[in-house]
Structures are given as structure tokens and as C-alpha cells.
């Protein structure tokens, strides 16, 4: 019960966070609460970090059921929304540390793409990192996490629900690595 209450509190705080609001060309228009961006169909900025270990395995994780977008789905990227006034790179560093407990990895930038679905309109920055540090999943956002070969992860996406935006991030990474 305490874990569920923590998730609910985390979700409420997350919905109230001020997020970078941008247009279709990724120009900053201002800052709005995350929930308002979603409800109004506006565009925010997000980061996707593909975390590999030194054996070349990709970290996949399952999102908590309290997530506003894709609850309970599997995800092949750590990441999240870019806060108002925050750069893509700083957001990626923060998200990797928050979600998976990886704070010392060097991030490699693989460019941007626009993802446009109802309730999930975001300019996406794709990063990769390599780390063998132990994973420390954030319990309010991550139910479980593990490393698997890239090929196994790609096969797994055909069997389980995976976040569609992170699947596009993986395609972007593979085309731009």
C-alpha cells in the first residue's frame, strides 16, 4: 500500500511539473504543467536514453501502472520530459540518474525526431550510454529492469506491449549511431 501511495503522490507531482512547451519546429514557446500539455494536445520535449552494458546488452524496463502515458508498458529507453529551462542533455543526465540510478555515464547524442500521437506529442532527443554500474530502479516509475541483447529486446517488442515512442527512438538510434 505504501508503494501505491508513493506512486500516486509521484504522479501528482509529475503532472504539475513545468515542462518545455515547443512548436512543430522545436522552438520554445514557454512552459506549462505536464498534464496541461497532454490535455491540450500541445508539444513538449522528451529525452530517450538507450543504456547498454559493456557486453552490448540493452537495458529494458517495465513502467509502473501509475504512469500517465503507457502505464505498465515495457520500455527500451530511460528518459522523460524536459523541464522548463532545461537542455536536452541535462534532462537526459537527470532522467538516467533518477530512473535507473546511473549517474556517471557519458551520454552520446544521436539527434532528434518528432513523435506525434494523441496525448503524446513530443520532440525527442535520443542519447546512448554505456555503464556496468548496478541498476537502482526508481520504484515510483520502474517496476523491473534488466539487460538483454539488442536482438532479444527487438524480438521481445513483438510479444509484449512496448512504448511506441521509445521504439521509434531505437530506430532513430540504429540509423544514426
Binding site residues for Mg(2+), as ranges? 95, 99
* Four-residue CA torsion sign, 155, 161, 162, 165: positive
- Nearest CA to 81 among 43, 138, 129? 43
Numbered residues of the known binding site: 95, 99
Hey, which bits of 53-159 come out as E strands? Answer: 58-63, 74-75, 78-81, 108-117, 120-130, 142-148
* Cα–Cα distance, 147 to 94 (Å, whole number): 20
Q: Is 31 helix (H, G, I), strand (E, B) or coil?
A: strand
27, 45 contact by CB (below 8 A)? no
Q: Is 69 exposed, middle or buried (0-12, 13-18, 19+ CB in 10 A)?
A: middle
Q: Is the torsion defined by CA of 100, 79, 97, 176 positive or negative?
A: positive
Amino acid at each position: 500500500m505504501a508503494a501505491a501511495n508513493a506512486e500516486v503522490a509521484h504522479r501528482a507531482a509529475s503532472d504539475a511539473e513545468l515542462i518545455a512547451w515547443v512548436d512543430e519546429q522545436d522552438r520554445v514557446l514557454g512552459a506549462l504543467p505536464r498534464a496541461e500539455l497532454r490535455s491540450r494536445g500541445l508539444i513538449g520535449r522528451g529525452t530517450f536514453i538507450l543504456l547498454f552494458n559493456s557486453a552490448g546488452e540493452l537495458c529494458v524496463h517495465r513502467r509502473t501502472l501509475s504512469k500517465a502515458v503507457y502505464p505498465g508498458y515495457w520500455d527500451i529507453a530511460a528518459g522523460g520530459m524536459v523541464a522548463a529551462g532545461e537542455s536536452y542533455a541535462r534532462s537526459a543526465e537527470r532522467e538516467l540518474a533518477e530512473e535507473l540510478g546511473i549517474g556517471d555515464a557519458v551520454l552520446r547524442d544521436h539527434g532528434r525526431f518528432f513523435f506525434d500521437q494523441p496525448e503524446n506529442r513530443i520532440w525527442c532527443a535520443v542519447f546512448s550510454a554505456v555503464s556496468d554500474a548496478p541498476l537502482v530502479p526508481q520504484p515510483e516509475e520502474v517496476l523491473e529492469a534488466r539487460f538483454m541483447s539488442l536482438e532479444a529486446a527487438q524480438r521481445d517488442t513483438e510479444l509484449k506491449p512496448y512504448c511506441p515512442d521509445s521504439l521509434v527512438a531505437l530506430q532513430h538510434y540504429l540509423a544514426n549511431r
